[in-house]
A = this chain, B = another copy of it.
Amino acid sequence: MSHSKLKSLGEKIAFLQRRCRELRIPVLVVFEGLSAAGKGTLINRLIQPMDPRGFKVSCIRDPNGEERLRPFLWRFWNRTPSADRMAIFDRSWYRTILEQEVSGELGMEGLAKAYIDIRSFERQLFDSGTLIVKFHLQVSKDEQSRRLAAIQENPSTAWRVTKEVLERHKRYDIYFPAIERMLTVTNQPEAPWTVIDADDLDAATESTMESLALRLESFITLVEMGKLKVPAPKSNEMPYFANAPKISAAKMENSLDNDAYLELLEERQSRIHELQSEAYRRRIPVVIVYEGQDAAGKGGNIRRLTQRMDPRGYEVIPVAAPNDLELAHHYLWRFWKEFPKAGHVTIFDRSWYGRVLVERIEGFCKKGDWKRAYGEINEMEENFYHFGCVLIKFWIQIDKKEQLRRFRSREESTRKRWKLNEEDWRNREKWELYEEAAQEMIDRTHTSYAPWTIIEGNCKRLARIQALETVIEAISERLEKAPEK
């Protein structure tokens, strides 16, 4: 390839990259390929002309200790580009899966689940406006031999050709069917593969850069013309679970007297303490979601749940409006980040369900966004489930009169007045809208792996015991089923 051609392609890409920043298009570029396929060289040539403010190269190795304790996509969600960035991956989520398939660590069922997770990951990013470009660099076995030998001959690079690299080189042919499957199964329209013949690195550079420029250009054009619109799913395209519990069926008059409460509380809390310990030992992650109208008693309920838990093993994540960094990412990004380590418990005081509650009702997102969210949330939770996570979701129901009573009592108490603000009164006016949205949320996300529990919240004591018992049941059930580790 001529130097001037490379230069003009480089300048074109640099220009398109800046245009993406202006349009706030996140771009994700993946380079896959066997050892010595030339990924490093190609990436280096690609980034030279670009504005370093606009991209970030992630080099993916084997997962570290922190990463192994999370679903395998966790570290990639963490690295998804914000709206002003291009994220370039030197190997990616595909690497882990390929290596595990070839080593036999991942059976056909595991492989199928992993590819389901990957497909929804990429589709979700695309649906929120991310351009995804995936290159697979193909190198022949002979050329790979030659390159490895050259690296070994150079004393300053020889150490790179480790035993593992040579081992992989020997198994070159075994990788083939696995790579073929990867390219076929994950070649979806939202994130197509481009296969590059990398035996000649100059030619490979040219076709990679040309292909990238083309993808950037056509995506930018679509965005500029306002044609890049993912249509809102129709009602019958959205998930629906007929067996979902109904808010209207909650027995709001139920209550519990104080003596019975204190006795049950003591007993249930001590059981939770044991279960937390056992789940920790067996590395089972637990995610608990609390949703409910204002003053439903989420905070007090969470306090009773955690009172005797070991603080080293749980965390409460209060969810408020997203900050500017969070707004520049996919809306699930900030929740993925908080996924607990295997064996830990994370309790969300409000959650990703904000998308289909407050964001829907206040118009903070588009209609298509919250309609699509039901399916996206189910996918995320399935992803957690594939990792072995116990998922518990509470809707604490109170009635409108009870809320008023609690607001009034907050107004009167110096100690609790901080809990009440103007917004609470405004939300109260939309009570029916919230209740309707809550029921739709429950109907559309009440999966077998992440079912909802409606808590009867008019009596705080009863609500606390119900929550404790639901958590006990869910963790015990998983402990019975999960193989002893």
Contact = CB atoms under 8 A, between A and B. Distances in A.
Interface of A: 11, 15, 18, 40, 43-44, 47-49, 51-53, 56-57, 59, 64-66, 90, 156-157, 159-160, 273-274, 277-278, 281, 299, 302-303, 306-313, 315-316, 318, 320, 323-325, 349, 415, 418
Given A65-B64, A66-B66, A299-B51, A43 B311 contact: yes
Nearest to A319: B53
Name the residue in A53, A159, A299, A320 with the highest tally of chain B Cβ atoms < 10 Å from its Cβ.
A53
Contact of A44 (B40, B52, B281, B311): B311
Quick one: copies of this chain in the complex?
A: 2
A54 B369 CA distance: 30
Given A52-B349, A66-B66, A325-B323, A90 B311 contact: yes
A307 B48 contact: yes
Given A15-B415, A159-B281, A59 B323 contact: no
Residue of A47, A310, A320 with most partner-chain B CB within 10 A: A310
List 7 A-B pairs, minimum CB-CB distance, nearest first.
Answer: A53-B318, A52-B316, A59-B312, A156-B274, A156-B277, A64-B65, A44-B311
Contact of A311 (B40, B51, B311, B315): B40
A365 to B, nearest CB: 21
A51 B354 CA distance: 20
Given A18-B418, A418-B18, A310 B44 contact: yes
27 contacts: A11-B415, A15-B415, A18-B418, A40-B311, A40-B312, A44-B307, A48-B303, A49-B303, A51-B299, A52-B303, A52-B316, A52-B318, A53-B320, A53-B349, A56-B315, A57-B315, A59-B312, A64-B64, A64-B66, A90-B312, A156-B278, A157-B277, A323-B323, A323-B324, A324-B324, A324-B325, A325-B325
A40 B310 contact: yes
A127 to B, nearest CB: 25
Nearest to A281: B159
Contacts of A52: 299, 302-303, 316, 318, 349
A62 to B, nearest CB: 10
A277 B161 CA distance: 13
A313 B47 CA distance: 14
Given A40-B312, A157-B277, A323-B324, 9 more contacts: A15-B415, A40-B311, A44-B307, A44-B310, A48-B307, A51-B299, A53-B349, A59-B313, A324-B325
